Amino acid sequence: MDLNQISPEDFSLSEGGPFFNALVKTRLINHPAKLALIISCITWLPLVIITVFEGTVYSGTTLPFLKDIAIQARIMVAIPILIMIRVTIDGKVNAVIRYFSVALLGPEEQKIIVTTALRRAKKLTNSAVSEIILAIIVVIYTISLVKTSSFGELQSGAQSWMAVSQEGLLNLTFAGQWAVFVSIPIFQFLFFRWIWRYFVWVLLLFRLARARLILRPTHPDKAGGLGIVMQAQRSFNMLFVAGSVVVSGELMIRLINNPESFLTVRNEIVGYIIICIILVLLPLLFFMGKLIKTKQEALIDMSKLGAELSSKFEREWESDEPIEKRVAENEVDPSMLVDYIGVFDSVQQMRPFPITLRDIIGLAIPLFVPFVPLLIIHFSVVELLQKILKLLV
């Protein structure tokens, strides 16, 4: 794609980079389900086969492969989510960009956005260097993380399908080596690749917020017309839902091994959800200054208009002529002041932050769903239902 001729209709946040180009060449780019199946065959199926031969697929060690909830959640759930969200994110981001171009930007600003902001964003997503750096970081980080965790297990005398301790030294099993050098890095690369592209989107929103936006103080969304940005933010929330799946798997193992740690686990869940919601909503702060200014200017203009309408209203209604006759002859308009009051109330309700409580709840629920199994582990189903009923009654 020619970066000098990119248009809002052609912009795609997921396109570009060696990984995307490889998918295009293999014709998998338009078949996310097939791609997810292939990656599962690379990351999960070999581990099943290897652990069968090593005797640790379902037993034979303290933590067999199929009972390792953390690795199952990472490979079988999180990776498909990271692959499937591409269509949703691209569709929502493209819709928001086109909306900005058509509804919120004048002709001159449209040229600036097309020639600068979109081109810079596309340059970042097309960067091969960024993906190479991500791949290197992922490999180093994953190996060090797994080794640290394994050494911790060694200190407690624990064994798993991934690693065993012999004479105080860490020895990765063949399955562990495949997980460390193939399966886990693939998940981490997909996850951090999306994090990088979300960062590019945040930069693009920052540049859009600096443009001369045409905000409407009477817009029904009570956010000057910026409420649509939440569509893109909700699509990116699925990225953090994939993270919830992984975190839930790790915490589930901890809770099974140590049921007394529920309070600590609960606090970590709440903290994770809050951090994710903040990361999704933080870019909307870029527009706060413009929204506040738009509201203040609109209230001043509406107050001036209100004074004129009130004066006109009083003059028309002070006449001695019967009101029925004046209304019939269209000399006065009784609904004019009522309409103005409705518009003025709408301006007063304009939010300096383009988000509602419903939006926050809509973000929190998908983030919380992967953690529901932890509640079922800690509480019985009957206890859980009783607690829910107490909250509802």
Task: Locate all alpha helices (DSSP H) within 167-228, ordered by sequence.
Answer: 174-178, 184-210
Distance of CA 75 to the CA centre of its chain: 20
Which helix (H) or strand (E) segment holds residue 250: the answer is helix 229-257
Select the more confidently predicted residue: 228 or 9: 228
pTM of the predicted model as reported, rounded to 2 decimal places = 0.86
340 burial level (CB within 10 Å; 0-12, 13-18, 19+): middle
Q: What is the pLDDT of residue 138?
A: 85
Taking all residues of the chain, what is their mean pLDDT, rounded to a whole number? Answer: 83
Instruction: State residue 320's pLDDT score.
Output: 56
Average confidence (pLDDT) over 341-356: 83
Contact 159, 62 (CB under 8 A): yes
The pLDDT of 87-95, averaged and rounded, is: 91
Spatial distance between the Cα atoms of 271 and 285, rounded to a whole number of angstroms:
21
Residue percentage of the chain with pLDDT more than 90: 32
Q: What is the mean pLDDT of residues 48-73?
A: 89
- Domain ranges in the chain are 3-293+353-392
Burial (0-12, 13-18, 19+ Cβ within 10 Å), 326: middle
Per the CB < 8 A criterion, the answer to whether 56 and 161 are in contact is yes
Cβ proximity of 114 and 271 under 8 Å? no
Cβ atoms of residues 130 and 19 within 8 Å = no
Residue whose pair of structure tokens reads 């819709």 in the numeric block: 95
Distance CA 249, CA 318 (A): 74
The model's pLDDT over 117-162, given as tens digits with 9 standing for 90+, comes to 888 888 888 888 888 988 888 888 777 766 665 444 444 445 788 8
> What is the structure's pLDDT at 156?
44
CB 78 within 8 A of CB 245: yes
202-206, 224-228, 313-317: least confident range: 313-317
pLDDT of residue 306 exceeding 90? no
> Among 6-10, 27-31, 288-292, 364-368, which range has the highest average pLDDT?
364-368
> In the numeric block, which tokens belong to residue 229?
């940005």
Q: List strand residue ranges (DSSP E) for the chain, in order.
A: 163-166, 169-172
Reported confidence tier of residue 333, pLDDT bands at 50, 70, 90:
low
pLDDT of residue 109: 78
Which of 28-42, 275-289, 323-337: highest mean pLDDT?
275-289
What does DSSP assign to residue 27?
A: T
152 sits in which H/E element: helix 128-155
